[in-house]
Structure 1
Amino acid sequence: MSELKELPSLDLSALVASRVCHDIISPVGAITNGLEVLDEDGAEDMRDFAMDLIRKSARQASAKLQFARLAFGAAGSAGAEIDLGDAQVVATGFMENEKSDLDWQVTRHLMPKNYVKLLLNLILIANQCVPRGGTIKVTMEGEPSSPSFELVASGQNPRIPIGMKETLEGTEPERVDAHSVQPIYTFLLAKECGSAVVINKEEEQVRITTSSKM
């Protein structure tokens, strides 16, 4: 397997945009379906169901977009810092629509934006490791200017998705597409932060840690 090549910025942005669009298609489609039900003649008995569907799907779409804005977006100018309290809010909102619970044990600080983006992307990685649901515990050590993160995903039959470990270690995935771009992006964020991501399966949990490469 070959070393991960640097993706042209246009290709990377296009793949990340595809990933974000893929994540919000479902709730936006559900909103459309709910509105179509309301437009139908004689659908009074379905009105409450349609309104509940629209409300739930709108909250879900908003949570996913707010998370994506912080995890993938510019989120301020170069060198900007982000309040970890804001990161916790968007991460909690995102995880409310997932099968796993988020156990956030990180103290509120201002932190360089790339570290915050890295942490949010690690939550996405951890969430994929417990597809049947569970708990994702998030902790941090070190100073906010150069932190180390640890995420432990516990649940029923946790697993590391095929190829993810190798991609996070800097190996070129079999296919570079909208599906594989998120771990690629996580690796690139860690590299930009001067960190390395280590992911390992340990009995009934998957542990993800970051450490400085400097």
Structure 2
Amino acid sequence: MTGTDTLSSMDLAALLCSRVCHDIISPVGAITNGLEVLEEDNGEEMRDFAMELITKSAKTASAKLQFARLAFGAAGSAGAEIDTGDAESVARNFMAGEKPELEWQGTRVLMPKNLVKLVLNLILLGGATIPRGGSIKVLIEGDSRYPTFTLVCEGKSARIPASFDRLLRGKPADEHGIDAHAIQPYYTGLLARESKMDLVFDWVDDTITIKAQPVSVPSADEMIGVAQTSDMDEEIPQELADRA
């Protein structure tokens, strides 16, 4: 997948912040409403209702923030790896408050952070393709550095939003440019390009399959050569130290 990124780093940061704020403002507002009920009404029934609202909304806000931290945030230093088991847990907690049900299949491994961020953002894309709910099955296969992600999204009235094609290629969906509503698919395309992953969509009836796969995978001999070079680089300083 190719494309030209049209946003400055400042605009990208601002729009991602807007997206996160949009996602958490509803549960945070519900917490505020619950606290107001506790202050104004001493009735036992209303207090129980308020506490239930506060508890549920706090869990939702926490799940959304944890998901956003991993899907959009720095998630460690440059070159960091993330446990896919942690990503699965964050995704399950987030999707518990959404319409589609989530199924996750894949061996637990450490994976480069941008790849983990990519699969979480693909889950958001999958949710957008089945707005009435359904199921999203996530399958992670292959080497942790060169994985293949397959998401099977099934639901009534499944569709691929018309804006996805341009936004994933780093282009505005229309003359209005890119706003906070469009930033998530745009960012997903950016992650795919940074990770050298190709995105393919397939639509059959009420099932949409999203696949992300490496643009190219080194041969076994090439991967062994890289590993050996890395080992030599680590050994040279030690040899020099021994001679000193």
Class of the TM-score when normalised by the shorter of the 2 chains = over 0.9
> What are the within-5 Å matches in structure 2 for residues 9-88 of structure 1?
9-88=9-88
SS in 2 for 1:210: strand
- Give the corresponding residue for 2:199: 197
Q: CA deviation at 1:42?
A: 4.2
SS in 1 for 2:172: coil
Structure 2 residue runs of 5 or longer lacking an equivalent are 217-244
Range that drifts further, 112-121 or 198-207? 198-207
- Give the corresponding residue for 2:121: 121
Does 1:146 find its partner at 2:182? no
Q: CA deviation at 1:32?
A: 0.4
* Counterpart AA for 1:208: I
Q: What does the per-residue CA deviation read over 1:32-80, in whole Å, with 9 as the maximum and x for residues that have no partner? A: 0011111104443311111000000000000000000000000100000
- Give the corresponding residue for 2:181: 179
SS in 2 for 1:5: coil
Q: What does the per-residue CA deviation read over 1:15-40, in whole Å, with 9 as the maximum and x for residues that have no partner? A: 00000000000000000001111110
Distance 1:202 1:107 in 2: 28
Distance 2:116 2:196 in 1: 14
Distance 1:204 1:6 in 2: 33
Q: What does the per-residue CA deviation read over 1:68-113, in whole Å, with 9 as the maximum and x for residues that have no partner? A: 0000000100000000000000000000001111010121000000
Q: How many residues align?
A: 212
Distance 2:22 2:43 in 1: 30
- Give the corresponding residue for 2:208: 206
Q: CA deviation at 1:203?
A: 1.2
SS in 2 for 1:98: coil
**Equivalent pair of 2:198/2:212 in contact (CA under 8 Å):** yes
- Give the corresponding residue for 2:137: 137
Q: What does the per-residue CA deviation read over 1:155-193, in whole Å, with 9 as the maximum and x for residues that have no partner? A: 111111231133224443223010000001000000000
Structure 1 residue runs of 5 or longer lacking an equivalent are none
Q: CA deviation at 1:195?
A: 1.0
User: How high is the TM-score relative to the length of structure 1?
Assistant: 0.95
Distance 1:49 1:22 in 2: 25
Structure with bigger gyration radius: 2
Q: CA deviation at 1:10?
A: 1.1
Q: What does the per-residue CA deviation read over 1:124-164, in whole Å, with 9 as the maximum and x for residues that have no partner? A: 00011111111100012220011111101001111112311
Range that drifts further, 134-143 or 53-62? 134-143
Distance 2:207 2:6 in 1: 31
Structure 1 or 2: more helix by fraction: 2
- Give the corresponding residue for 1:168: 168
SS in 1 for 2:121: helix
Distance 1:113 1:159 in 2: 29
Distance 1:136 1:166 in 2: 23
